[in-house]
Amino acid sequence: MSFQELTRERTRDRLKRKFREFLGPWGVFIQGFIEHPVMVGSIIPSSQFTIRKMLAPVDWNECSLFVEYGPGVGTFCRPVLDRLRRDGTLIVIDTNPLYIDYLKRTIGDSRFIPVLGSAEEVEEIVRAHGFEHADYVLSGLPFSTLPEGVGPRIAAATSRVIRPGGAFLTYQFSKAARNLTARYFGRVDDGFEWLNFLPCRLAWGWRD
Ligand SMILES: C[S@@+](CC[C@H](N)C(=O)[O-])C[C@H]1O[C@@H](n2cnc3c(N)ncnc32)[C@H](O)[C@@H]1O
Q: pLDDT tens digits, residue range 38-66?
A: 566 666 788 999 999 999 999 999 999 99
**pLDDT score at 87:** 98
Give me the mean pLDDT over the 185-207 stretch. Answer: 94
**Closest residue to atom 24 of ligand 1, CA basis:** 40
- Whether the CB-CB separation of 56 and 193 falls below 8 Å is answered with no
3-state helix vs strand vs coil in the chain, percent to 5: 45, 25, 30
**pLDDT score at 25:** 73
**pLDDT score at 45:** 81
Mean pLDDT, all residues of the chain: 91
**pLDDT score at 204:** 98
Does any ligand 1 atom lie closer than 6 A to the CB of residue 70? yes
More confident residue, 31 or 170: 170
| Rounded-to-integer distance, Cα 167 and Cα 188, Å | 9
| Rounded-to-integer distance, Cα 158 and Cα 118, Å | 12
Does any ligand 1 atom lie closer than 6 A to the CB of residue 114? no
- Give distance in angstroms: CA of 38 to centre of ligand 1: 10
More confident residue, 23 or 193: 193
39 CA: nearest ligand 1 atom: 15
Distance of CA 53 to the CA centre of its chain: 16
**pLDDT score at 12:** 81
72 CA: nearest ligand 1 atom: 27
Percent of the chain with pLDDT over 90: 72
pLDDT above 90: residue 193: yes
**pLDDT score at 184:** 96
Does any ligand 1 atom lie closer than 6 A to the CB of residue 74? no
| Rounded-to-integer distance, Cα 81 and Cα 51, Å | 12
Place 197 in a pLDDT band, splitting at 50, 70 and 90: confident
**pLDDT score at 92:** 98
Q: At what angle do helices 25-35 and 3-23 cross, to 10 degrees?
A: 130
**pLDDT score at 2:** 80
